[in-house]
């Protein structure tokens, strides 16, 4: 009798685990499946804002929102491996110029540098299926009146004439939201020191951010910079 009970217990536990696994969202697979809907012309260059708009328009929980936003690079628009680690960095906050620290999931090292120099952080509040949440987002200024708008970027994704195309990207205070700054908060002094002394966000980024635009050939090269500067 005890042996039969143990067999039933094992079957129940296996069945429960399988149901739990089946109920978990595969965020990465969902983005891949909807790739052609997010990017109808297949051009994802610097189009992180398209991912953010796609995600924020979903009827999802805050946890889902956070997980989705770990899977694309806000600078390049490329997908990121689900097992990738984040980079700890700081971004200047719009209006106050305070440094906001947080984590950023990127496809390559230069994207962190470009983000730190050319984007700004803004606090945003949004209602999800499980209630309202506040968080920091990464933004760039309206690029739609630029005469040197990068030709390798689909301008229609961002712009309607000289105005932001709000049906394609999300805007906040006339700035385009390009992604989420994970765990965003006011920086402590030791955190600022850590970022400045880090081999990537400190040494490498200082070198990259002082390199003339025409000499940049890593990451997105000059594409995102022309869009965001």
CB 124 within 8 A of CB 173: no
Task: Give the torsion through C-alpha atoms of 51, 105, 144, 32, to 10 deg.
Answer: -30
Per-residue pLDDT of 136-175, as tens digits, reads 999 999 999 999 899 999 999 999 999 999 999 999 999 9
- Tell me what the pLDDT averaged over the chain comes to: 89
And the tokens for 135?
A: 């968080």
Task: Give the torsion through C-alpha atoms of 118, 119, 120, 123, to 10 deg.
Answer: 180
Confidence band for 15, pLDDT divided at 50, 70 and 90 = very low
**What value does the mean pLDDT take over residues 31-43?**
94
| DSSP 8-state symbol, 218 | S
DSSP H/E element including 66 = helix 62-68
Residue extents of the structural domains in the chain: 24-228
Q: What are phi and psi of 21, to 5 degrees?
A: -65, -40
Name the residue among 130, 47, 135, 40 with its Cα closest to residue 91.
Answer: 135
The pLDDT value recorded for residue 23 is 45
Q: What are phi and psi of 196, to 5 degrees?
A: -70, -25
Torsion sign (Cα): 52, 201, 84, 227? positive
């Amino acid at each position: 009798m005890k042996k039969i009970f143990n067999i039933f217990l094992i079957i129940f536990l296996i069945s429960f685990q399988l149901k739990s696994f089946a109920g978990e969202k595969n965020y990465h697979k969902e983005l891949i499946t909807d790739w052609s809907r997010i990017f109808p012309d297949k051009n994802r260059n610097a189009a992180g804002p398209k991912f953010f708009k796609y995600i924020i328009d979903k009827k999802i929980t805050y946890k889902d929102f956070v997980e989705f936003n770990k899977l694309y690079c806000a600078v390049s628009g490329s997908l990121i491996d689900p097992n990738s680690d984040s980079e700890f960095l700081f971004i200047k906050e719009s209006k106050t110029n305070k440094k906001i620290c947080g984590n950023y999931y990127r496809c390559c090292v230069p994207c962190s540098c470009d983000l730190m120099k050319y984007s700004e952080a803004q606090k945003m509040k949004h209602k999800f299926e499980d209630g309202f949440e506040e968080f920091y987002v990464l933004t760039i200024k309206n690029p739609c009146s630029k005469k040197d708008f990068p030709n390798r970027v689909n301008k229609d994704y961002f712009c309607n004439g000289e105005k932001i195309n709000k049906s394609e990207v999300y805007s906040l205070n006339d700035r385009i939201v390009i992604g989420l700054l994970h765990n965003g908060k006011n920086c402590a002094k030791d955190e600022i020191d850590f970022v400045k002394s880090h081999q990537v966000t400190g040494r490498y980024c200082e070198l990259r951010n002082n390199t003339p635009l025409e000499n940049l050939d890593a990451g997105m090269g000059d594409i995102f910079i022309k869009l965001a500067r």
